[in-house]
Structure 1
Amino acid sequence: MRKRLSLSLALFLILFLTFTLTACGGNTNGGKTVINNSTDVKIKLIFNNEELTVKMDDNPTSRDFIKRLPITLTFEDYAGTEKISRLEKRLSTESAPSGIDPSVGDFTYYSPWGNLAIFYKDFGYANGLVRLGHIESGIEKLAKISGNFTVTIEQVLVDENHS
């Protein structure tokens, strides 16, 4: 009886420590944690001394994009409606809808061309367009830029001491 109780207690402690250590684990970076749950992921667009935050959607295309960060790209205006930049390698479109009707502030991937598109004006439905996320505020800063400009895109890190 005593041996069985000791064995049960030992098993319980092993399981408890395993779950505790797993919950505390994760990718860290200097006291900051990289969010692995893509429903909580935010990225920042850094350009011309400005910074915009994008709340990312949870889909395979968004997750594929997040894996590539950080990245620096050159954007240009397209049709007075969106800012676009071609990616070096295409993103996964697994489980993606056939298209969407983007809103102002949508951060998207246009699969036929393999480029990112950030909408600063309304646009109608487009086949092959996949929403990656949405800019939380400040889209007007992006809309004002004329000509080509460089954007550094990074994942927002969460401070472990303030979360």
Structure 2
Amino acid sequence: MNIRLTADGRAVDATLNDSAAARDFAALLPLTLNLSDFHETERISDLPRPLSTAGAPRSAEPKAGDLAFYAPWGNLAIYYRNAPRADGVVILGRLAEGGAEVLATAGRVTIER
């Protein structure tokens, strides 16, 4: 499924994978979220509710450009740098080329189908 993230008037396309978590995330759209920085690696925001993690791997090694759900905290993560493997990270999809750089400093993002 294709989605669009818009921050500071700049649009970034992304593709969600075919996981239960990604489908559950898509069901929440459209969303407008306030983002904060986490470890100079990702932009994060709380989601309105936890996503399904049925069938998800126990851990993932996120790369710059990945959209992910961090199950222990219930938040969305938009990675602008590579991160080490971590338990509870569920990859939801991937930003289009250059999208990580656009969103690296975003304070607010709107996500829609």
TM-score, length basis structure 1:
0.67
- Aligned equivalent of 1:12: none
| Whole-Å separation in 1 of the counterparts to 2:97 and 2:9 | 16
For the residue of structure 2 that corresponds to 1:58, the secondary structure is: coil
5+ residue gaps, structure 1, are: 1-40, 156-163
| Whole-Å separation in 2 of the counterparts to 1:46 and 1:141 | 9
| Whole-Å separation in 2 of the counterparts to 1:128 and 1:49 | 32
- Structure ranking higher in helix proportion: 1
Give the RMSD, CA atoms, in angstroms: 1.0
Alignment of 1:138-153 (within 5 A): 138=98, 139-143=100-104, 145=105, 149-153=107-111
For the residue of structure 2 that corresponds to 1:89, the secondary structure is: coil
- Structure ranking higher in strand proportion: 2
Larger RCO, structures 1/2 (Cα 8 Å, 6+ apart): 2
Task: Calculate percent identity across the aligned residue pairs.
Answer: 41
5+ residue gaps, structure 2, are: none
TM-score, length basis structure 2:
0.95
Counterpart selection for 1:59 from 7, 15, 19:
19
- Aligned equivalent of 2:85: 125
Alignment of 1:23-38 (within 5 A): none
